[in-house]
């Protein structure tokens, strides 16, 4: 049994891990409360059952989980069993919280610094040895773009919500002619830049695109921010933000007004 110990507020990320592990090992072999505890079940009894059958205990360490008394009981109980060589205890660092001293003796998986895919691959490497739940229909995105106006300046802030995104290369789509716009990358001294008027996206939508990128990754506390102004007084907006997710593929990320 694989036990995923976490706080409810960290579910947007932990659920992605649970789904990936389920696809490899089967749902019955992954204790994840959303499908392991069903309506009418005793929560404490089910948690105890999961811990009793657990062979791999993954503790998602975050500000949220460190403040949870329930999660604290789980990981301290599991750590005691790990000391007796009953289970394997693996912390997973989710943010920049300070790791409890009791856990410093264990080598942890650093999801915050390395990203989700690497963390899951490391979890599988460590392990490698029908009920009411349904997979969420909402597409998960670690990246989100916020846009807002400061006077005549349009600010677009691309932010990683949960963990590092190693590639910081974005495309900003607008109906305005790029030649009428001035684009400035904030808080960065050097960047990769390109523009394209008259582009056609994969869905057939015609647009003009501003490309900007930097060498560093995008972290939750270190966003990628551009400032766009009109050189000629035209009215303009950014309608879509794309992220370079592979060598030749750009994927849209949520664009929200702030």
Instruction: Identify the H or E element spanning 31.
Output: strand 30-31
Number of residues written out for the chain: 258
| The token pair that represents 170 in the structure block | 């974005």
DSSP assigned state of 237 = -
Entry pTM: 0.63
Nearest by Cα to 214 from 238, 189, 196:
189
Summarised one tens digit per residue, pLDDT across range 182-224 is 999 998 888 899 999 999 887 788 999 999 999 999 988 889 9
pLDDT value, residue 229: 96
List own/partner pairs for 105-108 with CB under 8 A and 24 or more apart.
Answer: 106/82, 108/61
For the chain, the average pLDDT equals 87
Q: Backbone phi, then psi, for 254, in 5-degree steps?
A: -55, 135
3-state secondary structure (DSSP) of residue 168: strand
Buried b (16+ CB within 10 A) or exposed e, 195-228: beeeeeeeeeeebbbbbbbbeebbbbeebbbbeb
Band (pLDDT 50/70/90 cuts) for residue 132 is very low
Residue 242 is encoded by which pair of tokens? 């794309």
DSSP state of 97: P
What is the structure's pLDDT at 233? 92
Question: 230 falls in which pLDDT band (50, 70, 90)?
Answer: very high
User: Is residue 137 pLDDT above 60, yes or no?
Assistant: no
Q: In whole angstroms, what is the distance from residue 180 CA to residue 172 CA?
A: 15
Two tokens, residue 67: 């403040």
DSSP structural state of residue 191: -
Confidence of residue 42 (pLDDT cuts 50, 70, 90): low
């Amino acid at each position: 049994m694989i036990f995923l110990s976490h706080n409810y507020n960290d579910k947007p990320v932990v659920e992605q891990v649970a789904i990936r592990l389920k696809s490899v090992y089967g749902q019955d072999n992954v204790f994840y409360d959303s499908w392991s505890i069903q309506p009418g079940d005793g929560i404490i009894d089910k948690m105890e059952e999961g811990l009793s059958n657990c062979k791999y205990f993954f503790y998602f360490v975050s500000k949220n989980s460190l403040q949870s008394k329930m999660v604290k009981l789980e990981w301290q109980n599991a750590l005691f069993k790990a000391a007796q060589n009953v289970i394997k205890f693996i912390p997973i660092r989710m943010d920049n919280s300070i790791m409890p001293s009791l856990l410093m003796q264990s080598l942890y998986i650093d999801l915050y610094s390395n990203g989700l895919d690497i963390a899951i691959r490391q979890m599988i490497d460590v392990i490698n040895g029908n009920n009411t739940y349904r997979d969420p229909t909402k597409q998960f995105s670690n990246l989100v773009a916020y846009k807002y106006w400061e006077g005549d300046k349009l600010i677009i802030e691309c932010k990683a919500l949960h963990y590092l995104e190693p590639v910081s290369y974005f495309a900003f789509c607008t109906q305005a002619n790029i030649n009428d716009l001035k684009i400035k990358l904030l808080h960065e001294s050097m960047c990769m830049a390109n523009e394209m008027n008259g582009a056609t996206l994969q869905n057939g939508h015609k647009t003009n695109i501003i490309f900007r990128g930097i060498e560093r990754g995008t972290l939750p506390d270190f966003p990628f921010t551009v400032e766009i102004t009109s050189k000629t007084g035209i009215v303009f907006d950014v309608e879509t933000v794309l992220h370079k997710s592979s060598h030749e593929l750009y994927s849209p990320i949520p664009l929200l007004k702030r």
